[in-house]
Structure 1
């Protein structure tokens, strides 16, 4: 069980749209990572791992709906300065909150040049994070591997880059085909459009958000996965290098794949 008065509310399958999104009004990219086929045709279990944009906007009016999802653990991948700036998920009773920041260079140090290949730019940023953020990525995936932490939700600001990497690595370990992994990543483009529209109406004084922050081209994630495997031999080998144990890799498969 999760926390709160779950007996009064349920997240209906009918309420989850074709893009796996779970309707929480103050979020734009909250969705179930389950449902894809993994090793031996076993499906990734629904209702165990979710991904989201920042949860600091959740209000009291969404407390029961969030409780109905049953989340036990929130894994916040934002920088401590981002948490300080925007706040964190409300401290609902029974909810475990972990702020884990995979170290990486701020994108402003290497801005995207207008007209340059966006997928290549994003894949390079992801490769940089995978190189410098090993400890944080290993800690996040180690938490996801713990069945007692589920259901868990992993998030960053937009829920597409840092969150996208953690979810892609997790799905790869579960044996999900690359086509499904990159398609799941690409769903964040539609979510970013909703977020951009919200910004325009709610905070009209905010300057235009740079394109890399709003777009998730499937090619970017495919390049990242291909080059990670070229460098380490496999996603599992990379995660072992990062510090994820064989026991944790096995635990991921045990509790996130259907029997």
Structure 2
């Protein structure tokens, strides 16, 4: 059973015909996640916003879901330990009402995690503070529980985990996602969307240097605006005039 979101929600911008491209980072993530799950260990997948870490983690885990009970929690603000307990209660779909007392709650969660192997994906984990990170370690450390834990987050996630010696010493794999290099952009972007398939490589390099900067999320926004420009002008091929119009819609340029 998996509680991962459906594939169409992976992208922040709705772009029909967008394809997931197997980059070196994605291949590495697939191997790292498989090894982490096999070891029932913990790993940290981190990097700047828009570098593709959440899409990589979700798509790779989705391919493993037939054999795994995968549950994902996404944090959008600083959470309390009580909130983490309640998120786990809801994510694990436990029956009845959440226990009122911490000791009772902890016993329930540990008992549940001991029933069969599960994978917990903690997305935007940079929002977790010391007490909550220690609580995750406390659940994982119990000799009877069997979770694999995947921390996914921004650069702040790495620093947050590294500040917790007892937790960071237990991280099985650290993987840092970075922006695409110029050579990777030329290899990857023509495969991501049909609009770029027959684009001049110089125009793709121009778009990357002026607006996208090796960032998948920037490329998605730029593609959406470029699509609009092509429709409005009736053109069928991307050129630098079309790209400059698209750049004008992006605040980063």
The verdict on a shared fold, with TM-score over 0.5 as the criterion, is no
Structure ID, larger Rg: 2
More strand by share: 2
Interval containing the TM-score (normalised by the shorter chain): 0.3 to 0.5
Q: With the length of structure 2 as denominator, give the TM-score of the two structures.
A: 0.33
